[in-house]
């Protein structure tokens, strides 16, 4: 029997995007498993709420600013002497299409989702190499594989995260550093609430009905809770995943399975 309260005992973890959604749930799960966690994000008030609930440390950090990312990682390593786990859960989404895509939207999406993830990974590599071990868990999306209409920049950025993660895994695996990514389907987060609000308005239904409709399309017939994705984050961060690296783990309730069964 695995003692989850000790699986990540005294590991030092940074969760980028730790204020809301999957990031906040990951902070809570890593703390529950014994990790020392720094929750980083843009909104101090939201970070403070997460810190109050979980016992994490809240730090403001904008992943589009290289100096802030470097300062955060320097703070963590100086404060705790090391860094064991990085979770990248920062993300934004805009509805767009290649034929009419706006360069500003494309650039902003890439800057936050893909380049922001790269900056955090780049900043922690020296510490992980010095320790001779460590785990990076990047949050991508099932959209990296099933890019639906109107999701051009988002899907491209998430596919980039998959490729970035595999490159990291291949480059640094021999030094004990593991890099994996999670590709969630629909998850009940503030970001998906915004998406569902738009969908609901266009279809003349409620947000709850929009979520239910999306959930009905997968094998489990429901949308995920952030904690369910956070559980996978904790697994990949732990020694239980000691031989897992370069993986793009799909956590979508069987959406791709259900689509295949319908011949889509």
- Residues designated as active site: 154
- The CA R_g of the chain, rounded to the nearest whole Å, is 18
- Separation of alpha carbons 197 and 189, rounded Å: 12
- Separation of alpha carbons 35 and 1, rounded Å: 19
Find the length of the chain: 264
Q: Which residues of 238-251 are buried (b: 16+ CB within 10 A; e: fewer)?
A: beebeeebbbbbbb
User: Beta strands 12-16 and 248-251: pairing type?
Assistant: unpaired
- Separation of alpha carbons 122 and 189, rounded Å: 27
- Separation of alpha carbons 72 and 60, rounded Å: 8
- Separation of alpha carbons 35 and 227, rounded Å: 16
Residue 21: closest CA among 249, 180, 188: 188
Measured from the Cβ of residue 28, the count of other Cβ atoms closer than 10 Å reads 23
Residue 69 exposure: Cα atoms within 13 Å on the Cβ side: 23
- Separation of alpha carbons 159 and 149, rounded Å: 15
The three-state secondary structure class of 7 is: coil
Residue 261: closest CA among 222, 215, 219, 220: 219
């Amino acid at each position: 029997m695995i003692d989850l309260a000790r699986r990540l005992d005294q590991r030092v973890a940074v969760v980028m995007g730790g204020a809301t959604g999957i990031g906040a749930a990951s902070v809570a799960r890593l703390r529950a498993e014994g990790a020392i966690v720094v929750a980083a994000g843009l909104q101090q008030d939201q970070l403070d709420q997460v810190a109050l609930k979980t016992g994490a440390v809240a730090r403001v950090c904008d992943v589009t600013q290289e100096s802030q990312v470097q300062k955060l990682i320097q703070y963590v390593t100086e404060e705790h002497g090391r860094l064991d786990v990085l979770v990248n859960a920062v993300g934004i989404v805009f509805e767009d299409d290649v034929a009419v895509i706006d360069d500003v939207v494309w650039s902003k999406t890439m800057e936050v989702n893909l380049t922001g993830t790269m900056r955090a990974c780049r900043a922690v590599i020296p510490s992980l190499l010095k320790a001779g071990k460590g785990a990076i868990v990047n949050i991508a999306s099932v959209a990296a594989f099933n890019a639906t209409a109107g999701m051009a920049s988002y899907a491209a950025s998430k596919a980039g995260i998959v490729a970035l993660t595999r490159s990291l895994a291949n480059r640094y695996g021999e030094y004990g550093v593991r890099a994996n990514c999670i590709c969630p389907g629909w998850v009940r987060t503030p970001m998906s609430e915004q998406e569902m609000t738009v969908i609901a308005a266009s279809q003349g239904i409620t947000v709850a009905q929009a979520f239910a409709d999306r959930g009905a399309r997968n094998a489990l017939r429901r949308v995920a809770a952030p904690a369910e994705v956070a559980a996978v984050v904790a697994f990949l961060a732990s020694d239980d995943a000691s031989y897992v690296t370069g993986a793009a783990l799909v956590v979508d309730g069987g959406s791709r399975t259900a689509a295949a069964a319908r011949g889509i």
